[in-house]
């Protein structure tokens, strides 16, 4: 029996998918033992990821083929632009990272790669291509966050980053993204698979870059 399309893409992206989900960054974050400098380096890069990601979700709103899908994507976009962005601002304040420090850090290579991939997916104007990247970004984050041991770390910088990616709203949204990809992906299989695999490789590289030598 054929597994669903979204699961075939995910399985095809192994071993990178599982390496990302079990990454040192995830282990250290979920145990609350990550060094502040490493968390800060990650969050500065990830705030830039989120900027491009908001554009990508906007492209999903624009390319979706139903009003119901636009409403769900729009509600998710609202959460990212309010609650999630607010988390970043509070985390930067707690870590003592001011705007000048953030601005001084260059894009790490995976950040630049992800921004380019998201722009490319948006430029296709294909809902399937956009969904492929969204399924990786959100599905892979739900996968690791859902495995985080309880109780969560005391520090809100750690705990909230986990619960932002493992809560009922987020779970339902990821389930919706999978259903949408299952529905529209098969007719654009090569395109969807290409974006999916490139996004998984970038997720892994994004975590690796937290610990890369010579990074600011």
Ligand X SMILES: Cc1ncc(CO)c(N)n1
Q: Which is nearer to ligand X, 138 or 160 (CB)?
A: 138
**Nearest distance, CB of residue 145 and ligand X, angstroms:** 9
| Distance from C-alpha of 161 to C-alpha of 97, rounded to nearest angstrom | 17
* Angle, helix 36-63 to helix 24-31, in steps of 10 degrees: 110
Looking at the Cβ atoms of 139 and 185, the one nearer to ligand X is 139
Which of 3, 24 has the CB closer to ligand X?
24
Say which residues have a Cβ less than 8 Å from residue 211's Cβ, sequence separation at least 6. 24, 25, 38
**Min separation Cβ 117 and ligand X, Å:** 11
Taking the complex as a whole, the smallest distance from the CB of residue 187 to ligand X amounts, in Å, to 26
Query: Quick count: other Cβ atoms within 10 Å of Cβ 44?
Result: 22
Place of tokens 């990786």: 136
Choose between 24 and 186: whose C-beta lies nearer to ligand X: 24
Q: How far is the CB of 105 from ligand X (least distance, A)?
A: 15
- Return the C-alpha torsion angle 154, 155, 159, 161, nearest 10: 180
Return residues touching ligand X (CB under 6 A): 46, 49, 137-138, 141, 203, 206
What is the DSSP-derived secondary structure letter of residue 216? -
Distance CA 16, CA 22 (A): 10
From the CB of 138, what's the least distance to ligand X, in Å?
6
Query: Structure tokens of 88?
Result: 């970043």
Residue of minimal Cβ distance to ligand X:
137
Residue 49 vs 127, nearer CB to ligand X: 49
């Amino acid at each position: 029996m054929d597994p669903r399309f979204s699961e075939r893409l995910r399985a095809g992206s192994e071993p990178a998918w599982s390496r990302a989900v079990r990454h040192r960054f995830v282990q250290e974050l979920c145990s609350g033992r990550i060094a502040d400098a490493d968390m800060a380096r990650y969050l500065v890069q990830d705030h830039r990821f989120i900027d491009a990601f908001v554009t990508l979700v906007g492209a999903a709103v624009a390319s979706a083929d139903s009003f119901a899908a636009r409403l769900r994507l729009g509600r998710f976009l609202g959460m990212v632009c309010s609650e999630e962005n607010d988390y970043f601002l509070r985390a930067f304040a707690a870590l003592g990272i001011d705007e000048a420090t953030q601005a001084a850090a260059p894009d790490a290579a995976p950040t630049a790669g992800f921004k380019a991939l998201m722009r490319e997916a948006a430029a296709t104007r294909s809902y399937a291509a956009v969904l492929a990247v969204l399924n990786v970004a959100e599905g892979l984050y739900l996968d690791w966050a859902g495995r985080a041991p309880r109780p969560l770390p005391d520090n809100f910088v750690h705990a909230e980053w986990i619960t932002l990616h493992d809560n009922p709203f987020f779970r339902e949204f990821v389930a919706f993204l999978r259903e949408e990809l299952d529905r529209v992906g098969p007719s654009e299989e090569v395109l969807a698979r290409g974006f999916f695999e490139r996004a998984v490789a970038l997720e892994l590289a994004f975590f690796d870059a937290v610990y890369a030598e010579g990074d600011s």
